[in-house]
């Protein structure tokens, strides 16, 4: 089952303008505008070659809104700290999971304490 796409007002306006402008254009003009639109869509991102001079490289990076060397180093250090903290938390979690209670846990309790605890829980059961 195929549903019909309902165009919004902006798309309808654009379609109307395109149809009207096409009726007044020659084939060559139409091809020119189509090629121009396609070239804007296919613009490639400019790659900046790194420079040997850090200050010049940072200046170029700032001009093109790219991270500077200092920012990249700060990010790397922050990521390393996050990874180290995650490792430590994982180790603590593993140690806590593997920790067993002492063998003589109940031997420290006296019979009186055990009876007192049993009576406490048995009061509601009659």
pLDDT for position 77: 93
Residue 19 falls within a domain, yes or no?
Answer: no
pTM > 0.85: yes or no: no
Within a domain: 121: no
Residue 81 lies in a domain: yes
What is the distance between the alpha carbons of residues 126 and 123, in angstroms, rounded to a whole number? 7
Residue 65 resides in a domain: yes
Location of structure tokens 């603590």: 92
Mean pLDDT of the chain: 76
Q: Residue 59 corresponds to which tokens in the numbers above? A: 């200046």
In-domain check, residue 15: no
Distance separating alpha carbons of residues 55 and 69, to the nearest angstrom: 9
Q: Is residue 70 part of a domain?
A: yes
Residue 3 in domain = no
pLDDT of residue 100: 54
In this predicted model, what pLDDT tens digit does every residue of 54-105 receive, in sequence order? 778 778 878 888 888 888 899 999 999 999 999 888 888 887 777 655 555 5
Domain that holds residue 79: 48-99
pLDDT 10s digits, 10-66: 787 788 877 777 777 788 887 888 888 777 666 555 666 666 777 787 788 788 888
Q: How many domains does the chain have?
A: 1
Q: How far is 41 from 56, CA to CA, in rounded Å?
A: 31
pLDDT at 80: 93
Give a yes or no: residue 68 inside a domain.
Answer: yes
Residue 89: strand, helix, or coil: helix
């Amino acid at each position: 089952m195929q549903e019909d796409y309902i165009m919004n007002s902006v798309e309808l306006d654009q379609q109307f303008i395109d149809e009207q402008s096409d009726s007044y254009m020659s084939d060559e003009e139409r091809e020119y505008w189509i090629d121009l639109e396609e070239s804007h869509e296919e613009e490639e991102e400019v790659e900046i070659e790194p420079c040997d001079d850090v200050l010049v490289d940072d200046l170029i990076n700032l001009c093109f809104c790219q991270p500077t060397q200092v920012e990249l180093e700060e990010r790397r250090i922050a990521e390393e700290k996050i990874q180290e903290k995650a490792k430590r938390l994982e180790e603590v979690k593993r140690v806590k999971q593997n920790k067993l209670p002492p063998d003589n846990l109940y031997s420290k309790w006296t019979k009186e304490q055990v009876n007192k605890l049993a009576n406490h829980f048995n009061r509601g059961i009659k």
